[in-house]
């Protein structure tokens, strides 16, 4: 290792966690500061929160406050020592709220000033420690300087309140942005994506309960992942959209899926969908089969919540609507159901496939989730 140039050693260190990379400073005088040039700053403190599982009541809040303070100090100390003028990846993975907004804002500015390419803020509340009104809000004052964002290729925000105006600004002013993910934002009420964000390939919107509409026009979007409330969705001019994942209340009525995505379903190659058993009868599945032909679909993942006296047979009509299907993954989610019922339901379903379909090119996976 001693004969390798510093640049190569720094590259090797970038595959370690920050704590592992920092630990190499004791190896020799040459290694003392090498870790400070790592281009990847991933501040993952989730493991330290596992201790909270053993606590109760006020003890949780007291310990969480201590751990938050220690985490913030750790991040600030690392940034004070860091020497690389370019950052490829900057991730904050910890339970933080708006009490720490000044520190989080400072971290974001630090990353943007160093031409960050991947920015992830996962501030998810842990063990019920977040309460209403405590989410960190994305600082819209950062949007005054569009040049700060021009190197971003991926943005992910979980448990960060960000509104549609901020997201639309990012989409318009991040010419390299390919991936955008927003989860559990309470400020997001609508999202409008149009031709100016031509680089965007993957969009993920999860559990944004105040969201009412998404409109996507003239986009090169390849993958859409949506899980959340029933909303109004418009997809126009998205010829490259070949992968879609749908879940939450949106799929409570399969008719909604048909009406919202009737144009897009025939073009899809990969589809993942939640199916609510109470609303997916044989009649509804036949309606789906007659209304939609997913002629390009190669992979289908269905998450089915199975209850007593429910059948998996309606799912065969989704397969019938997919003549080119090569891979079918069925995730059966069940609670308080005896194993003999589940075994019988699966056996009947598989036999129906063997009898009713040419399965020579179909790979079937069945996953049981309790």
Q: Render pLDDT for 178-217 as a digit per residue (tens, 0 to 9).
A: 999 999 999 999 999 987 678 999 999 999 999 999 999 9
- Rounded to the nearest integer, the mean pLDDT of the chain is 86
H or E element: which one contains 367?
A: strand 363-369
SS3 content of the chain, % helix, strand, coil (to 5): 40, 25, 40
- Whole-number Å distance between alpha carbons of 276 and 98: 36
**Residues, the chain:** 370
The pTM (predicted TM-score) of the whole model is 0.89
- Whole-number Å distance between alpha carbons of 98 and 135: 6
Q: Provide CB contacts within 8 A for 316, sequence distance 6+.
A: 285, 349, 352, 353, 356, 357
Angle between helical axes of 58-81 and 101-113 (0-180°, round to 10)? 30
Q: Which pLDDT value is given to residue 129?
A: 53
* pLDDT grade for 32, boundaries at 50, 70 and 90: confident
pLDDT in tens, 329-350: 999 887 766 778 888 888 988 8
Q: Provide CB contacts within 8 A for 329, sequence distance 6+.
A: 299, 300, 301, 302, 365, 366, 367
CA–CA distance from 296 to each of 14, 225, 271, 283, 323 (Å)?
40, 19, 11, 24, 8
Q: Which pLDDT value is given to residue 16?
A: 77
Given a cut of 80, is residue 161 above it in pLDDT? yes
DSSP state string for 249-316: GGGSSHHHHHHHHTTTGGG-SEEEEEE-GGG--HHHHHHHHHH---TT--EEEEEEEE-TT--STTHH
Given a cut of 70, is residue 7 above it in pLDDT? yes
* pLDDT grade for 318, boundaries at 50, 70 and 90: confident
pLDDT in tens, 213-252: 999 999 999 999 999 999 999 999 999 999 999 998 888 8
Q: Which pLDDT value is given to residue 28?
A: 73
| From 142-151, 251-260, 292-301, the region with the lowest mean pLDDT | 251-260
Q: What are phi and psi of 345, to 5 degrees?
A: -60, -40
Among positive and negative, which fits the CA dihedral 290, 296, 298, 304?
negative
How far, in whole angstroms, is CA 264 from its chain's centroid?
Answer: 21
| Percent of the chain at pLDDT exceeding 70 | 94
- Whole-number Å distance between alpha carbons of 42 and 62: 26
Given a cut of 90, is residue 274 above it in pLDDT? no
Specify the 3-state DSSP secondary structure of 319. helix
Contact (Cβ atoms closer than 8 angstroms) between residue 180 and residue 204: yes
Q: Which pLDDT value is given to residue 105?
A: 95
* Beta strand ranges found along 104-254 (DSSP E): 118-122, 136-137, 154-158, 160-161, 179-183, 190-193, 202-206, 213-217, 223-228, 232-236, 243-248
- Maximum C-alpha span of the chain: 73
Given a cut of 50, is residue 132 above it in pLDDT? no
């Amino acid at each position: 290792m001693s004969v390798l140039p510093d640049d190569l050693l720094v590259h090797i260190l970038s595959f370690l966690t920050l704590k592992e990379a920092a630990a190499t400073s004791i190896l020799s005088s040459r290694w003392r500061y090498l870790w400070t040039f790592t281009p990847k700053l991933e501040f993952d403190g989730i493991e330290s929160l596992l201790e909270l599982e053993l606590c109760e009541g006020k003890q949780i809040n007291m310990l969480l406050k201590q751990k938050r303070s220690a985490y913030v100090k750790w991040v600030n100390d690392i940034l004070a020592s860091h020497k690389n003028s370019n950052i490829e990846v900057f991730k904050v993975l910890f339970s933080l709220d708006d009490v720490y907004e000044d520190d989080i804002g400072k971290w974001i500015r630090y990353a943007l000033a160093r031409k960050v390419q991947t920015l992830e803020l996962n501030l998810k509340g842990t063990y019920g420690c977040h309460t209403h009104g405590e989410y960190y809000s994305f600082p819209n004052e950062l949007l005054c300087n569009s040049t700060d964002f021009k190197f971003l290729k991926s943005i992910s925000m979980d448990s960060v309140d960000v509104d549609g105006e901020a997201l639309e600004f990012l989409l318009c002013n991040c010419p390299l942005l390919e991936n955008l993910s927003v989860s559990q934002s309470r400020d997001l009420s609508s999202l409008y994506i149009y031709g100016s964000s031509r680089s965007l390939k993957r969009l993920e919107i999860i559990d944004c309960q105040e969201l009412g509409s998404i409109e996507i026009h003239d986009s090169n979007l390849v993958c859409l992942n949506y899980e959340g409330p029933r909303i109004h969705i418009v997809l126009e001019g998205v010829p490259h959209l070949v992968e879609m994942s749908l879940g939450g209340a949106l799929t409570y009525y399969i008719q909604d899926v048909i009406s919202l995505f009737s144009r897009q379903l025939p073009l899809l190659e990969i589809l993942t969908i939640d199916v609510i058993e109470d609303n997916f009868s044989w009649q509804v599945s036949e309606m789906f089969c007659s209304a939609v032909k997913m002629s390009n679909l190669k992979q289908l993942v269905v998450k089915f919540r199975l209850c007593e006296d429910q059948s998996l047979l309606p799912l065969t009509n989704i397969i019938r609507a997919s003549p080119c299907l090569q891979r079918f993954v069925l995730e059966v989610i069940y609670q308080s159901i005896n194993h003999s019922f589940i075994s019988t339901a699966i056996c009947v379903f598989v036999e129906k496939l063997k009898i009713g379909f040419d399965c020579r090119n179909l790979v079937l996976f069945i996953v049981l989730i309790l």
